[in-house]
Structure 1
Amino acid sequence: MFFTAVLTLIFIFVILHIYFPWRAKQAEKERIASEAARRGCLPAPTMSKNGFLGFGRLIEGLRATREGRGPHYVIEAIDSEMGKDVDTVLVPIFDYNLVVSRDPDVIRHVLSNTLTDWDISEHRSESWNPLVGHGIFTARGEHWKHSRALVRPQFALDQINDLFMFERHVEQLFVAIDRHRDTGARWTQSFDLQPYLYNLTLDIVTEMLFGYSVHSQNPSERVELPEIPGFKTPDRANIGKHMDAGKAWIETRGALWKYRWLLPCGEFYKHCTAIHEYAQWFVQLRLLRGDKYLDGLQQHDSDTSNSERYCLLNELAKLTQDPTELRSQPLNVLTAGRDTTAALIGWMFYFLARHPRIFRKLRREVLNVFGPFLPSCPTGISFRPLRDNMPYMTAVINETLRVAPVVPLNERVALRDTVLPTGGGPNRDHPVFVPKGTQILIPTYALGMRPQSWGPDYARFRPERWTNGPRDVGFAYIPFGGGSRQCLGQQLTRIKAAYVTVRLLQRFDRVLNAEEPRNAPMKFHHTIENRSESGVQVRLRAAPWSI
């Protein structure tokens, strides 16, 4: 009797947990094949299931990231196994298939149909939500539309051109750089410029978002915060560290996709809590003070009164009083606004240090438009010339974003059964059927390395490719994404990068590559944004009039 009962239980277990799931998968395969045939689709080339159950692909990708060649891995894997002429592939990993495409036509189709056929995956949302909350960067569908409606007005031109505020923080950057230069000397010692750029953008963005900069570059400049009964004054000194550590966890969680639950995340949530407490303190201050939120804030020699100063939190509070939303929306902007701009400026100087001709040409344009740096005079930099009268600066920024895209990878997931326009069949000219729930990865770096789009010198850093006539490569160049979810902050990122570069080139007339060895290959430190893994090792020479 007992033996019969055990056999019965085993039989029921096999039926419920093995046979029924297997039969459901078979039925789904038959449905997909039938639907693909009905729509005239053929499958894309399929890569081998590498390693145990296909997890070898994940392991190889994580290893490549640790070695500073994460963006290169996508190109290497497709080229070596499928061929250089294959742009869209199917990658099987355990119990799901992943689409990877570097085809501009496929990417145009996907990004142009975001919110109808495609959106960011719920896995991206769930990976990011613990750190930054529900906002424009992590929300999907109608929630994303709501977030965009809240944030979009804050990126109008008159809101992002506070060059006086930029200048205050650039002056602190100069102070940090001068610590590497002996009194009276023109040349600095060798140093890494990159961390100072991350301090700079963190200081600028926190002031734009909350009205109070963390002053990570120079802590003595921090404005004393008023007390809020029942709330501990936030730890501003380590916000950048908590952000970097949190993003490192998110990078790994994202790579594991739906298996991210395998990671122990106690340390990750400690960083999340510190970031939340920091933002929540300013939210409480705004809710307590109302429209007088910025009253009493030190002016820092600005000619703008507190009532006229731009502050994202202050503006959002005019539209919503939800504390969670007031915390989450600025944190979403903080992550993107700090990291992408710092990485961009860092890569610009990485390349300028290795291409003295380009440095000299760019500096000539800076001096022709704005003149030299004079310590006794205002900078004389205004928004319109910065944006409209510097074609070579624009070319250098564009080329930097092509060769070293600060967002190396994008992704979408199919909201319903849909079709990619091309990539299937033996000649890869047939549409490809994509079942609902399938994720597609868009490798931005691989797009910038396509000889079909950029010519035989695609690997060369050459800003002139953007100045010799019109350059329209469509979706082969999407450093800020494309379609409806295109980055709202791209104008701000470009303006900040141009302003900081102008000021540095006014003050320093030479930059040398100080990395050892000098011919070391590019390495990418990939924690969501691409930054140089070796830093930006340079020596700078002060212009004679700036000493």
Structure 2
Amino acid sequence: MIQARRTNTLLEWHRKILNVPGQTVELRMLGRIMILTENIENVRAIMSTQSTCFGKGATYHKIWSSFTRDSILTTDGHAWHTNRSHLIAHTGKIRPTDYVVTKRHTQNLIRVLSDGKPHDTLNQLNRFAIDVVSDIFYGSSTNTLLTNDQSLRDAIQHHKNVNTWRLLFGKIGAWIPPDRKACNVIDTYLDSVFHSFSLEGPDSPEERDRKAQTLLGVLIAQGVPEKVLKDQLAAVLVGGRDSVAIIVTWALYELVRHPNIMRELRAEISTTHGKSDPPGPSELEGMELLNGIVQETMRVHSSVGLNTRTALKDCALPTGGGPTGKSPIGVLAGTALVMCLDSIQRRPDIYGPDANEFRPHRWDNKWKPDPWTFFPFNLGTRTCLGKNLAVMEVKFVLCRLVQAFSSIEMVEHIGGEVVVVKAEEREKMKTKLAFNTKPAEVVWLRFKK
């Protein structure tokens, strides 16, 4: 497992060892029991029908609370329900001002990418996404796209890398210290966001009203304690940043590898909407191929390739055990469970013999798979609250980038020179696990007007 993690082949390793009756295996590592499964009935039980038996658990909380604090991402029981109640009203729907904010920062992104130079695509999109999420939920943007100071972005990424390794070692990992410097950078930022929030100043009445209705503005008005409020800010900072940046990066990577699909998308955007004006909500929903590209990207390149839970008490999984893989499995309290969602979304018995291929047209005519075979934002009680906002951002920024640039090239640096490569002829990019699942190498793209 450790070797696969180092070589960015962990997802492939999971698929290999889960190729057994019942698609469920038990591992014993460093004195702990771990169950891996891609069995749909087991995943449904963990996420939904038996969700009270499974949670994040004490070890996960000890490791990740250094980053995501006591937020919805690390807590169980009453604390989780309280966190959810603070967030759901602000993340469960898209507000008209969210389009305005997304449009503003997409213009910044286009401006940055218009210099004719190669760009680390995930890096730029991470900066874009953190600018949008901070503006929408805090009322003030980090504006990382427009500054050379990337200390916050770097701290978040490094902290995630360290904690992913800590989690691999279970209870032992909880005793390994996190990156204290990264923790301090993130905490300092959250402190500044909280203490600098104000509805006074030169902003227009409309902007002051928008800030008052943000997550930060409403929670302050409700008198939520500072510590609890910062927990919520940390949750949306992580949840709102990662998925958008990863999905758009993978989508651009696949479009460059499939120039015929790119041409079709350009034609759809031009025919449906036009070549220059930003699309509205109904126009985004009306573009079948754009929607298919986003859905297929989330299927082939899930940003949540793995999802973990801990058994909170002695219980059982419904199936996956015994010689035929159809018997129940006893699960002791404290057992770690890993749901291999990426494996499910690539299973040939579910998605056909081309399950590993990027084929957006499989989503034509509003085709939908069984809900329990597609997990871009989880399912069950812990479904991502901000999924609608995230999908809107992904569609909007993809549409605008295709409108703004006549060509998007994959390049690499050879001998100090930038060389255009035929992306469709290159070996497929591996996937890296670091809290989320993302491209294992830099996706260098050059955008041309």
TM over 0.5: yes
- Equivalence for 1:281: 192
Equivalent-residue separation in structure 1 for 2:36 and 2:181 (angstroms): 34
> Aligned pair in 2 of structure 1 residues 103, 172: CA closer, same or farther (>3 Å)?
same
> Aligned pair in 2 of structure 1 residues 161, 70: CA closer, same or farther (>3 Å)?
farther
AA aligned to 1:328 is: D
Paired residues for 1:204-283 under 5 Å: 204-219=132-147, 237-265=150-178, 268-283=179-194
Equivalent-residue separation in structure 1 for 2:352 and 2:169 (angstroms): 35
Note the C-alpha offset of 1:471: 2.2
> Aligned pair in 2 of structure 1 residues 358, 304: CA closer, same or farther (>3 Å)?
farther
Conservation of the 8 A alpha-carbon contact between 2:22 and 2:321: no
Equivalent-residue separation in structure 2 for 1:174 and 1:142 (angstroms): 43
> Aligned pair in 2 of structure 1 residues 372, 517: CA closer, same or farther (>3 Å)?
closer
Equivalent-residue separation in structure 1 for 2:275 and 2:80 (angstroms): 45
> Aligned pair in 2 of structure 1 residues 498, 304: CA closer, same or farther (>3 Å)?
farther
- Equivalence for 1:22: none
- Equivalence for 1:435: 332
Equivalent-residue separation in structure 2 for 1:219 and 1:193 (angstroms): 17
Note the C-alpha offset of 1:470: 2.9
Equivalent-residue separation in structure 2 for 1:352 and 1:92 (angstroms): 41
CA RMSD, Structure 1 to Structure 2 (Å): 2.1
Instruction: Give the SS at the match of 2:111.
Output: helix
Equivalent-residue separation in structure 2 for 1:335 and 1:269 (angstroms): 18
Equivalent-residue separation in structure 1 for 2:74 and 2:96 (angstroms): 23
Aligned with residue 462 of structure 1, among 359, 374, 380: 359
Note the C-alpha offset of 1:160: 6.7
Do structure 1's residue 171 and structure 2's residue 107 form an aligned pair?
A: yes
Instruction: Give the SS at the match of 1:157.
Output: coil
Equivalent-residue separation in structure 1 for 2:62 and 2:247 (angstroms): 27
AA aligned to 2:270 is: L
- Equivalence for 2:418: none
AA aligned to 1:251 is: T
Equivalent-residue separation in structure 2 for 1:94 and 1:444 (angstroms): 24
Note the C-alpha offset of 1:262: 4.8
Conservation of the 8 A alpha-carbon contact between 1:242 and 1:272: yes
Conservation of the 8 A alpha-carbon contact between 1:347 and 1:404: yes
Conservation of the 8 A alpha-carbon contact between 1:399 and 1:463: yes
AA aligned to 2:340 is: P
Note the C-alpha offset of 1:63: 2.7
**Percent identical across equivalent pairs?**
25
- Equivalence for 1:521: 428
Paired residues for 1:483-498 under 5 Å: 483-498=380-395
AA aligned to 2:156 is: M
Equivalent-residue separation in structure 1 for 2:279 and 2:159 (angstroms): 36
Conservation of the 8 A alpha-carbon contact between 2:216 and 2:233: yes
CA displacement 1:248-282 (0-9 Å, x = unmatched):
111111111111145344xx122112211111122
Do structure 1's residue 306 and structure 2's residue 211 form an aligned pair?
A: no
Do structure 1's residue 417 and structure 2's residue 353 form an aligned pair?
A: no
Conservation of the 8 A alpha-carbon contact between 1:214 and 1:237: no
Aligned with residue 333 of structure 1, among 200, 218, 236: 236
Note the C-alpha offset of 1:517: 7.8
Equivalent-residue separation in structure 1 for 2:206 and 2:272 (angstroms): 25
- Equivalence for 1:537: 444
Equivalent-residue separation in structure 2 for 1:200 and 1:428 (angstroms): 45
AA aligned to 2:210 is: E
AA aligned to 2:214 is: C
> Aligned pair in 2 of structure 1 residues 86, 423: CA closer, same or farther (>3 Å)?
closer
Equivalent-residue separation in structure 2 for 1:364 and 1:248 (angstroms): 40
Note the C-alpha offset of 1:538: 2.3
Q: Which runs of 5+ in 1 are unaligned?
A: 1-60, 181-188, 221-235, 287-292, 374-378, 543-547
Equivalent-residue separation in structure 2 for 1:131 and 1:500 (angstroms): 28
Instruction: Give the SS at the match of 2:354.
Output: coil
Note the C-alpha offset of 1:514: 2.5
Note the C-alpha offset of 1:447: 1.2
Conservation of the 8 A alpha-carbon contact between 1:406 and 1:531: yes
Equivalent-residue separation in structure 2 for 1:282 and 1:86 (angstroms): 49
Note the C-alpha offset of 1:440: 1.1
Do structure 1's residue 91 and structure 2's residue 31 form an aligned pair?
A: no
Aligned with residue 128 of structure 1, among 64, 83, 99: 64
Out of 512-521 and 193-202, give the one that drifted further.
512-521
Do structure 1's residue 446 and structure 2's residue 343 form an aligned pair?
A: yes
Note the C-alpha offset of 1:106: 1.2
- Equivalence for 2:415: none
Instruction: Give the SS at the match of 2:18.
Output: helix
TM-score for the superposition, normalised by structure 1 = 0.76
AA aligned to 1:470 is: W
Do structure 1's residue 74 and structure 2's residue 14 form an aligned pair?
A: yes
Do structure 1's residue 294 and structure 2's residue 199 form an aligned pair?
A: yes
Do structure 1's residue 354 and structure 2's residue 257 form an aligned pair?
A: yes
Bigger Cα Rg: 1
AA aligned to 1:285 is: S
Equivalent-residue separation in structure 1 for 2:96 and 2:215 (angstroms): 11
Instruction: Give the SS at the match of 1:530.
Output: strand
Note the C-alpha offset of 1:478: 1.0
Equivalent-residue separation in structure 2 for 1:89 and 1:285 (angstroms): 50
Instruction: Give the SS at the match of 1:241.
Output: helix
Equivalent-residue separation in structure 2 for 1:272 and 1:215 (angstroms): 20
Equivalent-residue separation in structure 2 for 1:219 and 1:160 (angstroms): 27
AA aligned to 1:395 is: G
Note the C-alpha offset of 1:246: 0.9
Equivalent-residue separation in structure 2 for 1:352 and 1:417 (angstroms): 47
> Aligned pair in 2 of structure 1 residues 395, 193: CA closer, same or farther (>3 Å)?
same
Conservation of the 8 A alpha-carbon contact between 1:151 and 1:316: no
Equivalent-residue separation in structure 1 for 2:298 and 2:126 (angstroms): 17
Out of 455-464 and 433-442, give the one that drifted further.
433-442
Conservation of the 8 A alpha-carbon contact between 2:18 and 2:38: no
Note the C-alpha offset of 1:522: 1.4
